[in-house]
Structure 1
């Protein structure tokens, strides 16, 4: 069967879909009547507590006399302001992602010796099983990187003799291995996509154990393995700022739900990647690019403020792009006045 035929929505499927919608739609008023929380939010749209964590904390408002007062956004890793963390390693002109990974996992900043040993552990784990790239990543490459990552993570289960052991030491070993392997899985998956879907030349470089994770990503990504110090530094900061966000976001909550069943690490992480892909979560960044591309097609003169404003209004009115009524990349579900991560990135502009 051809892929076009396989993906076809037949009239029969369309008819069954309409029948399903007709007999399966819940009256929205019932959610209010029974105080059902939708999407981990109360009826006023405020997030609800779904767990406790000491790993990350987000501050977006204060409460004074039962009144919510918006404040400048703050993000803390193990109680330390992330802006302070970034200022520390940037000021010393060194990479920080491995150090932050250690902090998030173990609750304290490493000494120089501990960080050196930790980097060595990650470097030793930065090797995929024999023929994994050829047999798994290069076969039927996906058009979406998140699906590629999820499939690769699930397949790693087959290479792990202790895949179902969920003791803490074994889960720690698996987690460290996945942290070390994600740069390879990401870049090799992208190279496969570029080659088989975009007709680009295929380049597969081996990782360099002497490089940081940020440097390795650029080394693996570029055909000539070349990159600037500024590129590596900005990517490293991006990795740091995306390492944790309070434990209550969709993909983190997915991890709690799936792991609570006692399933294996690979299944849990793959499920979380599926959550992260969604356009209302991590996939929103892809939607931003697609939205801008649609803007370029729709508005011939990008300097025409009236035309751009009209396009934005059509987005909000569910008349343009994906008709979701959203301007992707604007606003945040938690932060109110400012996003500390955005403020840090602005320092490089």
Structure 2
């Protein structure tokens, strides 16, 4: 092992600011120890699969798939989650209700409150459900890694306030790349077999630094620029304090929001981009910055703000006309949207063919915490009538709501009304899924991704055959 690693990050239990906490965490198995024990077995299993079954055919490609965005083509190994069209997302085999039942919460009582993001990070990396003690040790470690390089805050403060928050977010993370342990180790010539150890260091540091970058942008653009921390709290709670929110109910919403947006298997644009750029051996900082740029598109991460705009336009129209917002008026507005050849924001999904479980858990949160909220009632009524309208319309493969159909309304309830910023919250969360997979990309020695493209003439030649 190169001396570079031993001088900076070789110890499996990092020192944290609170000595008592550091001593307590030493009695539990650390995240790093858990992963180092798993890697050899995973490597051997994948090598056996490739050697014994590498020629086994798992699918076929149609011309529609080739020219239609590669939808449904099975061509990527993804460790951390799987999205079934009928069942929805599973994180390491666990559904969202499973995660809510078994992952540690802030209170320490499983099922009492929403899972901590740190617990889902542990689960996605290791495939194991962590103990509360393990999660607490990971929280302390993330807080110890969160300090931004000295040049980053002045850079963020210098950016134009009218620059889109996602553009600022990407710039801020790219600027942190000066701290990359993997980039330095690669330049020092460490062997490929050790890449994953250095990549893990970067992954934990990127995840740790993202909340402050995001909070600085939020406070600069919408408030006074002041960011206050509270590292006595968990990752999500501290993020809420940095944003300027001090409400235990909002803390719970943020825990739920960050957990359910972490991962949605590998084919989505932000996860795939992170994986693709990482396959070039770019470090996790710039790999995930690329993923953020993919997330910033209106067909991906910006979709939730489009939903809120549509709901508010609906409400404003009928308020101005002196009409109640009900099943009849919602149906009228939906058909106006569809007849204008526009989509209904928040409905449909590239893979799912049922109500998105991420929508369902947010609906349950709203029923528990804000059942009388006016916008929630609108969303609930839309949920009752929209599938029937879209089925009648007949041009939507999935007439059911997705995650974006609900998330903006929950944030709005707590006074978080700056919907242009919502995708930044998504970006803080999606780092966990994309970067956990990036760890296993390097641990398993996955190669540079390089699919074969074909020309239209080649496709015509296949048809003529």
TM score, norm. by length of structure 1: 0.74
The answer for the alignment partner of 2:264 in structure 1 is: 245
| Conserved 8 A contact 2:116-2:255 | yes
Superposed CA RMSD in Å reads 2.6
- Work out the CA distance in 1 between the residues paired with 2:221 and 2:259: 26
1:136 to 128, 153, 156: 156
- Work out the CA distance in 1 between the residues paired with 2:78 and 2:69: 20
- Work out the CA distance in 2 between the residues paired with 1:82 and 1:94: 10
The answer for the alignment partner of 2:433 in structure 1 is: none
Cα drift, residue 290 of structure 1: 2.7
Which residues of structure 2 form unaligned runs of 5+? 1-61, 187-194, 368-465
Which of the pair is proportionally richer in strand? 1
**Alignment pair present for 1:184 and 2:212:** yes
Q: 1:97 to 1:304 in 2, by over 3 A?
A: closer
The answer for the alignment partner of 2:324 in structure 1 is: 303
Q: 1:316 to 1:164 in 2, by over 3 A?
A: farther
| Conserved 8 A contact 1:165-1:264 | no
1:49 to 65, 71, 74: 74
| Conserved 8 A contact 1:284-1:329 | yes
- Work out the CA distance in 2 between the residues paired with 1:342 and 1:333: 15
Cα drift, residue 138 of structure 1: 4.1
TM score, norm. by length of structure 2: 0.57
2:349 to 328, 332, 336: 332
Written as runs of structure 1 = structure 2, the 5 A alignment for 1:223-242 is: 226-227=246-247, 229-242=248-261
Written as runs of structure 1 = structure 2, the 5 A alignment for 1:27-66 is: 36-41=66-71, 47-61=72-86
CA offsets per residue over residues 260-285 of structure 1, 9 Å max, x none? 22323222111111111111111101
**Alignment pair present for 1:269 and 2:297:** no
**Alignment pair present for 1:217 and 2:239:** yes
Which of the pair is proportionally richer in helix? 2
CA offsets per residue over residues 99-136 of structure 1, 9 Å max, x none? 11111112212234432321211010121122522333
CA offsets per residue over residues 299-336 of structure 1, 9 Å max, x none? 523526665444323322346xxxxx211112222222
CA offsets per residue over residues 170-221 of structure 1, 9 Å max, x none? 2211111111111111111111111xxxxx433321x222111111121111
**Alignment pair present for 1:314 and 2:336:** yes
The answer for the alignment partner of 1:344 in structure 2 is: 361
Cα drift, residue 255 of structure 1: 1.6
Which residues of structure 1 form unaligned runs of 5+? 1-31, 42-46, 62-72, 195-199, 320-324
- Work out the CA distance in 2 between the residues paired with 1:140 and 1:76: 40
**Alignment pair present for 1:81 and 2:111:** no
Cα drift, residue 59 of structure 1: 2.0
1:110 to 127, 130, 142: 130
